[in-house]
Structure 1
Amino acid sequence: MLSLRPALGLALLRLSVGIIFAAHGYQKFFQYGIAGVTQGFTQMGVPLAAVAAPAVATIEFVGGLLMIVGFYHRVAGALQACVMVGAIVFAKMSGGFFAPSGIEFELMLGVAALTVALAGGGAYTVEEMRGKK
């Protein structure tokens, strides 16, 4: 069992990462639409854009919600980290390091998601309540 401070720190990280990913996934589904995301991915040179767009939107939205509640958050974090690698490679690499055009935000978000995947979600997760920690 984690001591209280690291458990709370991981919970705050999990919640903030989950909120950010859920918001971006929501944006892809309900503001841009999958067709718009597919078109954007095609312009960026993402392979299989018609498959990648709904997959990325789902990983971001559903994975973000799972991250928030702390259920399968390790899987969600690993998938979200992969999405951020793709964002860096296909959309941000040529923009240098600093945001908004560089990799800064995607790198930090990917590492944060990977941290949850590797270290767990901390306190107050559905998995903890179910006794599966």
Structure 2
Amino acid sequence: MATAAVFTEHGFQKIFTLGLPGVTEAFTRAGVPLPLLTAPLSAVLELAGGLLLLLGLASRPLAGTLAALVVVTRLPGLLAGGPVGWTQLEVPWLLLCGSLAVLLGGPGLTVGAGLRGAHPAEPAGARRRARPTSRRTP
């Protein structure tokens, strides 16, 4: 849920605070490929994808897409700047790891499931059926 919340916040900032022209300019300076395409795509995917992840909808495909998005949009800027310190890596690293965790492990509990008190689906065969008791007829 934390990864989804951070993606949602970043998408919100890109659309409503920085604006798409500002994000496009930042992507151009950072060397992100195709900034006119990747800036709006990134903003919309982060905002909508983060919200959908919070709800547990299409979690694995979204997580894979968001992980790829982190690599495509953050890696060029980090590599172009010379030596990179932990402060530049921590947020992209956490978003990448969180996305990969959802991609590989599934959504787990979602916001909606947590509010309803539901639990994630059990793996096949996790529950064993009770053996019927034998009844003898007199």
TM category (shorter chain) comes to 0.7 to 0.9
Deviations 1:68-118, CA, capped at 9 Å, x for gaps: 00001111111111121124312223342411xx32221121011111011
Structure 1 vs Structure 2 CA RMSD: 2.3
Distance 1:88 1:33, change over 3 A: closer
TM-score, with length taken from structure 2:
0.74
Question: Is it true that 1:23 corresponds to 2:9 in the alignment?
Answer: yes
Q: Kindly indicate whether residue 84 of structure 2 is the aligned counterpart of residue 96 of structure 1.
A: yes
Q: Could you say if the C-alpha distance between residues 74 and 125 of structure 1 is closer, same or farther in structure 2, counting changes exceeding 3 Å?
A: farther
Q: How many residues align?
A: 115
Paired residue type of 1:96: V
The 2-side partners of 1:81 and 1:124 are apart by: 19
Q: Which residue of 2 aligns with 1:68?
A: 54
Normalized against structure 1, the TM-score is what?
0.76
Larger radius of gyration between Structure 1 and Structure 2: 2
Q: Is the 8 A contact 2:32 2:73 kept in 1?
A: no
Unaligned runs of 5+ in 2: 124-138
More helix by share: 1
Which sections of structure 1, spanning at least 5 residues, go unmatched?
1-14
Check whether the contact 1:21–1:60 (CA below 8 A) recurs between aligned residues: yes
Q: CA deviation at 1:122?
A: 0.6
**Percent identity (aligned):** 30
- CA separation of 1:72 and 1:95: change in aligned 2, threshold 3 A: farther
